[in-house]
Structure 1
Amino acid sequence: MSLLNSIDRDHVLTAIETWDAAGGANYMLVRGGVSTHVLLPHGREYDAAAIAGIAHGLATGRTLTPADIPGGSAGASKALTRLGFDIRDDSPPSERVPGTRAVAPRTRSTSPRSTTTRNTGTPRPTRVAASDKPVTLCPRCFIAVPATGICDNCD
């Protein structure tokens, strides 16, 4: 059971209103404008993971950071798509979430390409993002257990 199963469409719409009222448009600028999954309601763009985290806070009283969401922004994207929202997936093709769409195809440049080749050598090791690490859930309330290993809600 995902942490985001507790949110519904109304929570997400309220989260968007809360985001706008708090001046959240600057959030992506502060983060460097990097968001691989973009929520697209009413022709505006929002960070899908941030909105899902706020919606979770409205539903349960515990706001999640994008790093707290199982699967990160891809997990948030799946939950928001399930609720009927449009998501633009800007991640590389190998990491795309089913049900989301990529940005419009890019047109080819007319500038000449370089004919030099790169020596790839050995492949780089794959890094695991903090958001991809497994989250321990409480078996009674299904809330993420903190590093202490003791559920804040149940114990």
Structure 2
Amino acid sequence: MATFSSVTRLHILQALAECDARGGEEFLAVFGFEPSPGYPLLHEGRSYDSKAILGVAHRFATGRLAPSEEFSDGMQGAVAILRKRGFEVSEPASVSYAPPPRASRAPRATRSPVARSTATREIPAAVCPTCSMTLPATGVCDECS
């Protein structure tokens, strides 16, 4: 089971930025999460999947992705951790992902359904648990060693 004591507010903000950069559907697909039925994390007027954000924040904190089946007490545990870190998590409702405004992004209606299904699962790079820097191939942090 994953422990989330090392996940800080900064790690959660990093996961939110990653979700914004990829878009909600691709974020879930790349990291292997299924959409959670409720408890959206609300941040700066947008809704995010609480479990996926916390799982990816765990990766930023420890270098290991915490898949949804490793949440010891399900959504209640994820919600409690996010609220302790100062985030707003609402009661069960549908999560909608509005992509951030970008000039280069094509409108949703013109995007091909094939493009969504071709997202490949990305193997996350190893991250130093102390400074959150990506580790080199040696596995030893250049900054913290």
TM-score category (smaller protein): 0.5 to 0.7
Distance 2:38 2:9 in 1: 21
Equivalent AA in structure 1 for residue 89 of structure 2: I
| 1:116-146 deviation line (CA, Å, top 9, x unaligned) | xxxxxxxxxxxxxxxxxxxxxxxxxxxxxxx
How far apart are the structure 1 equivalents of 2:4 and 2:86?
14
- What number of residue pairs does the alignment pair up? 90
Hey, what does 2:44 align to over in structure 1? Answer: 42
The aligned counterpart of 2:104 is none
Aligned equivalents of 1:61, 1:33: Cα separation in 2: 23
CA–CA separation in structure 1 for the residues paired with 2:14 and 2:35: 23
Residue pair 1:12, 1:52 contacting (<8 A) in 2 also: yes
1:4–1:76 contact (8 Å) kept in structure 2: no
| Residue 62 (str. 1) matches residue 64 (str. 2) | yes
Amino acid at match of 2:48: Y
Query: Larger Cα Rg: Structure 1 or Structure 2?
Result: 1
Unaligned segments of structure 2, at least 5 residues: 94-145
* C-alpha contact (below 8 Å) 1:66/1:73 kept by paired residues: no
Task: Tell me the distance in 2 between the aligned counterparts of 1:70 and 1:15.
Answer: 20
Aligned twin of 2:22: 22
Aligned equivalent of 1:124: none
Q: Let me know the Cα RMSD of the aligned residues.
A: 2.6
Query: In structure 2, how many angstroms separate the alpha carbons of the residues matched to 1:35 and 1:4?
Result: 21
Normalising by structure 1, we get a TM-score of: 0.51
* Cα distance in 1 between the residues matched to 2:52 and 2:35: 13
CA deviation vs aligned residue, 1:42-76 (integer Å, no higher than 9, x gap): 01011111100000000000111122112122211
Separation in 2, partners of 1:81, 1:63: 20
Aligned partners of 2:82, 2:25: CA distance in 1, in Å? 19
**Greater relative contact order: 1 or 2 (C-alpha under 8 angstroms, separation 6 or more)?**
2
CA distance 1:62–1:32, change in 2 (3 Å): closer
Assess if the C-alpha contact under 8 Å between 1:37 and 1:74 holds in 2: no
Alpha-carbon distance between aligned partners in 2 of 1:52 and 1:34, rounded to the nearest angstrom: 12
1:71 aligned to which of 55, 68, 73: 73
Does the CA contact (< 8 Å) of 2:6 and 2:62 recur in 1?
yes
Residues 11 and 72 (structure 1 numbering): CA distance in 2 closer, same or farther, change over 3 Å?
Answer: same
* Superposed displacement of residue 33, structure 1: 5.4
Alignment partner, residue 128 of structure 2 = none
Equivalent residue for 1:87?
A: 89
